[in-house]
Amino acid sequence: QKEVEQNSGPLSVPEGAIASLNCTYSDRGSQSFFWYRQYSGKSPELIMFIYSNGDKEDGRFTAQLNKASQYVSLLIRDSQPSDSATYLCAVKYPSGSARQLTFGSGTQLTVLP
Amino acid sequence: DVKVTQSSRYLVKRTGEKVFLECVQDMDHENMFWYRQDPGLGLRLIYFSYDVKMKEKGDIPEGYSVSREKKERFSLILESASTNQTSMYLCASSLPGLEQFFGPGTRLTVL
| Chain B residues near residue A99 by CB distance under 8 angstroms | 45, 48, 56, 58
Closest CB to B42 among A43, A92, A103: A103
User: E-assigned strands of B1-111?
Assistant: 4-6, 10-13, 19-25, 31-38, 42-51, 54-57, 64-70, 73-78, 87-94, 101-102, 106-110
Say what the pLDDT of residue A69 is: 92
| CB proximity A37 to B under 8 Å | no
Phi-psi region of B28 (alpha: psi -120 to 50; beta: other; left: phi over 0): left
The mean per-residue pLDDT over the stretch B64-72 comes to 97
Amino acid symbol at B106: T
Q: How confident is the model at residue A92 (pLDDT cuts 50, 70, 90)?
A: confident
Say what the pLDDT of residue B30 is: 92
Q: Do the Cβ atoms of B43 and B37 come closer than 8 Å?
A: yes
Quick one: DSSP state of residue A52?
S
Answer whether residue A2 shows pLDDT above 70. no
Say what the pLDDT of residue B11 is: 96
CA atoms in the 13 A half-sphere facing the CB of B51: 2
Closest residue of chain B to A8, computed from CA coordinates: B40
